[in-house]
Structure 1
Amino acid sequence: MKKMMITALSVVMAFSLAACGTKSAPDSAAPQTGGATPAPDKKEVTLKVGATAAPHAEILNSIKAKLKEQGVNLEVKEFTDYVQPNVQVFEKQLDANFFQHTPYLEQFNKDKSMNLVTVTGVHIEPFGGYSQKIKKIDELKDGATVAIPSDPSNGGRALALLEKNNLIKLKEGVGVKGTVRDVLENKKNLKFKELEAAMLPRTLGEVDLALINTNYALEAKLVPTKDALFIESNDSPYVNILVSRPDNKDSEAMQKLAKALTSEDVKKFIDEKYKGAVVPAFK
């Protein structure tokens, strides 16, 4: 009996030792990977970018998948105005925006004491004159009402386009910085109605002629190359730009976004989708 108890005790101790040995085995017998632990995948970076719907948000959405492959998660927030996208970038609610041209940004920075900066130029949207009441510009009657953007940079741009089409004459040298007060000759006695740019397509039934930014024309289902009575030439200096802050302009993620926006894929997307209404500003 005593011998049996000793034998049983020996078996229990053997199992206990085996269990202890098994517990420590993973540390001593772990699979080897060249003597180093694999580095974890690089963390994905999210970029929040504000944009007006067409064409800006559409262009951004077209490159989301490509950026995702490069570790950049692009979030696009759409706006219907030209103020909040800049304010939210300045306040760091957004990382960047894509909706404006250089003259507008320069004027905005000056008026609001901000220091937003250009990351890269992307495309040109030729400005156009539209009407639901006339088919040709020479049908514009004496005393007709003409709606133009109320912000200084786009308002001046509209007046310069009217001058180019021989409807008015501005003070010499004002160029695209002119205001209604700078109109020297107005042979048709045109009445100017200054409105927020986003509202202009909605006024077409009320005014005789409206000068509309292409992004808002596209949102209103207008085709600039077909529906505009007259339109800017493709060599317009109003290049639409990606805008950010000085502190994040040169970040790796921002530069990846800039490169994607000026890629051959985006050029092809713009050419095929907008058919001349939007023109790539890069080669």
Structure 2
Amino acid sequence: MKKTLLLTALAAVFSIGVANADEKLVIAATPVPHAEILELIKPELKKQGVDLEIKVFNDYVQPNVQVFEKRLDGSYFETKPYLDGFNKGKNANLVTVIGVHVEPFGGYSSKYKSLKDLPDGATVAIPNEGSNAGRALLLLQKAGLLTLKNPTDALATTKDIATNPKNLKFKELESAMLARAYNQVDLDMINTNYALEAKLNPKKDALILEGADSPYVNFLVARPDNANSDAMQKLAKALTSQQVKDFIAKKYDGAVLPAF
């Protein structure tokens, strides 16, 4: 009888311990602003029983690969067009959980103060990934520097350029490498997270910049099997809280804009 009571008591203690254990979420993020925003909400998630671990990446491919392979729970760094391109290229099925913010994409130059000053034959660095390349080309089209065969093609490449009156030359690089080319090209089309890491201020330094109406919202992304889990939904709610909105406004001063 004593042995039975002891086992019952131990089982009860064990079950209470399991019930009180935090649920762990491991999320991939690029350093700025994604990892910074996740660090902000870690304490609040801890109070809600979610132990958030942040894995920082400096590229756009490995985070999704590791989420798809179930080595990580989710990622926070990308736009819907990029995710669509990744899913198609990797035969994956990752899904968006919630949109958090917009990082207006911009064009920067260490040599010229205005787009009008760009010389004939100027070298322009753009991302080499499908959706980011298209995003850069659409912005250049908006600035009147070129036209595309399909003016709304989010996945356009340099092969889709219809007119190029300034005879711009294009240097295609991985997004993470673009900021390093800042002093080597005439115009550098850089994702805002990498521009911020390079100490560039999009509002002050960009010669051309997407507006707040940009459709390129950055999403929290997961798999179909865990997107609706309790922990992931708590993370989604925390990412779209007033605390995050206030942090974005104060920390990034317009370089990052809330999407909620």
* Length-normalised TM-score, structure 1: 0.85
Q: Which amino acid aligns with 1:164?
A: K
Provide the aligned length of Structure 1 versus Structure 2.
Answer: 248
Find 1:94's aligned residue among 72, 76, 87. 72
Find 2:27's aligned residue among 24, 39, 49. 49
Q: Confirm or deny: 8 A CA contact 2:29 2:63 kept in the other structure.
A: yes
Q: Secondary structure at the match of 2:20?
A: coil
Displacement of 1:158 in angstroms is 0.3
Displacement of 1:43 in angstroms is 1.8
Deviations 1:66-125 (A, max 9, x none): 000000010001000000000010111110010100000001000000000111000000
Percent of counterpart pairs with the same letter? 62
Q: Secondary structure at the match of 2:27?
A: strand
Written as runs of structure 1 = structure 2, the 5 A alignment for 1:12-91 is: 40=16, 42-91=20-69
Q: Which amino acid aligns with 2:215?
A: P
Deviations 1:169-191 (A, max 9, x none): 11134432221111111111100
- Match in the other structure for 2:9: none
Q: Which amino acid aligns with 2:20?
A: K
* Length-normalised TM-score, structure 2: 0.92
Find 1:176's aligned residue among 143, 147, 154. 154
Q: Which amino acid aligns with 2:140?
A: L
Written as runs of structure 1 = structure 2, the 5 A alignment for 1:1-283 is: 40=16, 42-282=20-260
Q: Distance in 2 between matches of 1:156 and 1:87?
A: 22
Q: Confirm or deny: 8 A CA contact 2:99 2:259 kept in the other structure.
A: yes
Q: Secondary structure at the match of 1:269?
A: helix
Q: Secondary structure at the match of 2:154?
A: helix
Q: Secondary structure at the match of 2:221?
A: strand
Q: Which amino acid aligns with 2:114?
A: K
Q: Distance in 1 between matches of 2:199 and 2:68?
A: 31
Question: Which stretches in structure 2 are left out of the alignment for 5+ residues?
Answer: 6-11
Q: Distance in 2 between matches of 1:77 and 1:67?
A: 16
CA RMSD of aligned residues (A): 1.5
